[in-house]
Amino acid sequence: MNYQQNLIYFVLTDQIKLTNMQNFELEGNRTYEQELSIKAAITSFMTKVYGWMTFALVISALTAFAVANSEQALTFIFSSKYVFYGLIIAEFGLVIAISAAINKLSYSVLSFLFVLYSLINGATISVIFLAYTMSSIANTFVVCAAMFGSMSVFGFITKKDLSGLGKIMIMGLIGIIIASIVNIFTASSTFDWIISFIGVIVFVGLTAYDTQKLKNMSLTINNEEMAKKLSIIGALTLYLDFINLFLYLLKFLGNKKD
């Protein structure tokens, strides 16, 4: 499950290159009016990003819960490998469409594709409700939200350029993807534990890096329509950070059902 989310995140970052400005150069030379304008632009853009991310998480959570409590839905999705892998392929296709065709698609179409992706992803991760107790899932979600929130705040307020950290985390992500695919065949519980531990570190770091990257990118947008489109990309990026972090934490904090 985790390697699938990792691959989707990697596809997203490989498809679109978000602008990374170096710590807002000439900061000391800006006027008070310019400072206000910059802060307003950042606030407006990041509000859209977090709004869409939160909306997508709610959709995925409700979908996962609904599927897990529907015998017909579970049978349809997981009884046939063609259906399940078809949904996985659809997720990859949607991420590529959202990121690669951003200049061609309208904001409404991008919004629809993002909601559709959230629904499909919720369906594919619904198995967590069958494997883990509800209380441990809820507790893990709270821990994940606290970790994600604190690292996102750090990425937003820090003056330190995190692009170097981002490169290291991306390399770590590639290693996790390769190791996860290998472990499909070896099925080593110890290896899986190590991968999960590294996965938590990687997505904690990526949360801070992606937040700073999006904050910096907000200053390069010159029209409202593009700002709304890029807020979808930003929301998808942070959504994947959250989902991956949650799934890795669940390996440590989740209590398996008897």
Q: Residue 61: its pLDDT value, please?
A: 95
Of 240, 250, 253, which is closest to residue 99 (Cα–Cα)?
240
* Residues in CB range of 39: below 8 A, 6 or more apart: none
Number of other CB atoms surrounding residue 194 within 10 Å: 14
Cβ atoms of residues 152 and 53 within 8 Å:
no
The SS3 assignment for 171 reads helix
Confidence class for position 23, pLDDT limits 50, 70, 90: very low
Q: Tens digit of pLDDT for each residue in 116-143?
A: 999 999 999 999 999 999 999 999 999 9
What CA–CA distances, in Å, run from 77 to 64, 67, 141, 189, 217? 12, 9, 24, 26, 38
Q: Residue 151: its pLDDT value, please?
A: 97
The SS3 assignment for 69 reads coil
Q: Considering the entire predicted model, what is its pTM?
A: 0.89
Confidence class for position 39, pLDDT limits 50, 70, 90: confident
- pLDDT higher than 80, residue 26: no
